[in-house]
Structure 1
Amino acid sequence: MLVDVQEQTKPLIRNKRKAFQRTAKRVLFIFLGAVFVAVGLEIFLVPNRIIDGGIVGISIILSHLTGWTLGLFLFFLNLPFLLLGYKQIGKTFAFSTLFGVAVMSVGTTLLHPVPSLTEDPLLAAVFGGIILGIGVGMVIRYGGSLDGTEIVAILVNKKTPFSVGETVMFLNLFILGSAGFVFGWDRAMYSLIAYYIAFKMIDLTIEGFEESKSVWIISENYKEIGDTILARLGRGVTYLNGEGAYTGDDKKVVFCVITRLEEAKLKSIVEEVDPSAFLAVGTIAEVRGGRFKKRDIH
C-alpha cells in the first residue's frame, strides 16, 4: 500500500519540479533582459541624448526636462498599463512585467553615475540599440514586457480599425519626433537608428538565429522527394493527403520543418527531383516536440 502511494506521488513531485524550473528560468531571463535594457539606456543612449520609443522614450524626455531620476518615470508611468495588462492578458504577464520594470528601473538608477562608454552618437545608437533590443527580446520571449504602449495598442485595436502594429508605430513616431524639439533633430535621427536596430534585435532574440521554416511540397514524385530530404538533409517528413479543388484529384503533400540555413539546399533538392513541383515556404516562430531534431547525414 505504501509503495502504491509513493508511485502515485512521483508524477506530482516531477510536475512541481518542472513548474519550479520553468518559473526560475523565466525569472532569471527576465532579470537578465531588464539588466541589458538598463545598460543600453544608461551606458549608451541617455548620456548621448538618444531615446527609445514607448514609455521608455517618454521617461527619458521627462527625466531630462525635470532632472528627476529616470527609474522613477520608468516605474510609475508603466503602473497603469500593468493594471490593464492584468485584466486583458493575465496575472502571469502582469507579474512578469512588474518584475521586469522594477529591475529595469533600479538598474538605471544604479548605473546612472557610470560614465558612457562612447561620446560618438552613432556608436551609441548602434550598440545601445543592440543591447536594448536583446534585453527587450529576452523579456518578451519569457512572458513579460517592459513597455505599456503594446497594451494600449491592443485596447485601441479592439475599438478602432487600426492594427496593433500601426498603433505602436504611430505612438513611437510621435515620441521619437518629440525628441527633435527637446534634444535637437540630429538626436531625433540617431534615435530612429537606435529604435530600428532595437526592433530588429528584438525579433532576432525572440525567434533565434536558427529561424525555422515550414515547407509544403506537392508533387507526383512525393516519395522520392521525401526520401531525398531525409537522406541529404537529415530532416523527417510527413505525407499528408490532399485534394485539388479544381480537378478533384487526390494529391500527396510533403510537409517538413527546416532551418533558415537549409532552405537553399531543400529548394535545390526539389528542383532536381521535380522542377514542376509546387513549393511553399513559410516562417515559423517556434517549434516544439515531434522529431524536429536533425539526423546525422554523411
Structure 2
Amino acid sequence: MFQSNPEAHQQHVRLTRVKFLKRAISIILGAAFVSVGLEIFLVPNNIIDGGIVGVSIIVSHLSGLPLGIFLFLLNLPFLFIGYKQIGKTFAISTLFAVALMSIGTALLHPVPPLTIEPLLATVFGGIILGIGVGLVIRAGGSLDGTEIVAILVNKKSPFSVGETVMFINIFILGSAGFVFGWDQAMYSLIAYYIAFKMIDMTIEGFEESKSVWIISDQYKEIGEAIIHRLGRGVTYLNGEGGFSGDNKRVIFCVITRLEEAKMKSIVEDHDPSAFLAVGNIHDVKGGRFKKRDIH
C-alpha cells in the first residue's frame, strides 16, 4: 500500500491557490483596464472597438440604455457555447471577466472623459483596452464572444479564426460609420488596430523570445562562443543533409529579441557560410532559459 505524502499534498494545494489567485488578479486588472479604456476614452468620443463590445456600444447609443447591460447580455450566449466547446474553466473565467467589465463600465459611466480630442482618445483608449484584454486572455478567459464564433466557423469552413474575426469586425466597424459618422468609424479602426497590437504584446511579453538553429562544421566553436559571450545554453542535435546525406551537427538555442544581432555576429565571426535560422517563440518554460552571468 502506498501512503500519501501530506507535505506534498499541502504544497500542491498552496500552488493551486497561488495559481488561482494570480489568475483572479489578472482578470480583475484586465477588466478594470478595459472599463477605463471604454468609458474614459472611447465611448464618450463615439469611438468603438470590434466584436461584441463594438455591437454593445452601438446598441447602447441607439437605445440610451447603459453599456454594461449589453456587454453582459450579448456575451451570455457565447459563454454557453464556450462552456460546451472549450471547457468549464474558460467559461467561468470569461463569465467573471465579463461581469467585472459590465460593472466597471457602469461605475465609470458618470466620470467625465479624460480627453475630448478624438486622436488622443483613440490612441490611449486602444492601448489601455488592449492591455486589459491581453491580461484576461493570459488568465485563460475572454471578453468577447466573437473569437468563440470564429473557432466554431473554423471547424466547419476553410476560413481561419483570424480571417473570421477580421470579417466580423470589418462589418461592425463599418456599421459605426452609419451611426456615429465616418470620421468616428475611421478612428474606431485605428483604435481596434492599436488594441490588437497591445493584446499581442501583453500576451507574448515585451521581451520576445526567439529560437535559433545553426548548421556549421564549426559547431563546437560557435556553441562555446554562445555560452561564453552571450551567456545562453545550447543544445547539439544530430542531423543529416537531405541532398548530400552527410551527418551534420545542429545547434539549437533560445535568445531574446535584443540578443539577435550579437548572435548573428558570433556566427559570422566563426563561420560566415554557416546556415542560420531565427524564428519567433510566443512562450518559453522550463529548461535553463534563464540567462547566466557572464564574467
TM over 0.5: yes
Q: Which residue number corresponds to residue 16 of structure 2? A: 19
Q: Equivalent of 2:93, from 91, 96, 102?
A: 96
Q: Which residue number corresponds to residue 138 of structure 1? A: 135
Q: Which residue number corresponds to residue 9 of structure 1? A: 6
> Aligned partners of 1:84 and 1:270: how far apart in 2?
50
1:36-75 matches, within 5 Å, as 36-75=33-72
- SS across alignment from 1:171: helix
- SS across alignment from 2:74: helix
Runs of 4+ in 1 over 4 A off after TM superposition: none
Q: Identify which range, 45-54 or 287-296, moves more after superposition.
A: 287-296
1:1-298 matches, within 5 Å, as 8-298=5-295
One-letter amino acid matched to 1:297: I
> Aligned partners of 1:84 and 1:280: how far apart in 2?
41
RMSD between aligned alpha carbons?
1.0
1:140-168 CA deviation, whole Å, 9 max, x = no partner?
A: 01100000000000000111111100000
Stretches of structure 2 that go unaligned for 5 or more consecutive residues are none
Residue 252 of structure 1: how far off its partner (Å): 0.3
- SS across alignment from 1:251: strand
One-letter amino acid matched to 1:53: G
Instruction: Give the total of aligned pairs.
Output: 294
- SS across alignment from 1:257: strand
> Aligned partners of 1:122 and 1:297: how far apart in 2?
46
- SS across alignment from 1:241: strand
Taking only the aligned residue pairs, the percentage that are identical comes to 76
1:119-141 CA deviation, whole Å, 9 max, x = no partner?
A: 00000000000000000000001
- SS across alignment from 2:5: helix
TM-score scaled by length of structure 2: 0.98
One-letter amino acid matched to 1:30: I
One-letter amino acid matched to 1:216: W
> Aligned partners of 1:113 and 1:229: how far apart in 2?
57
> Aligned partners of 1:21 and 1:295: how far apart in 2?
27
Residue 275 of structure 1: how far off its partner (Å): 0.6
Residue 8 of structure 1: how far off its partner (Å): 1.5
One-letter amino acid matched to 2:13: K
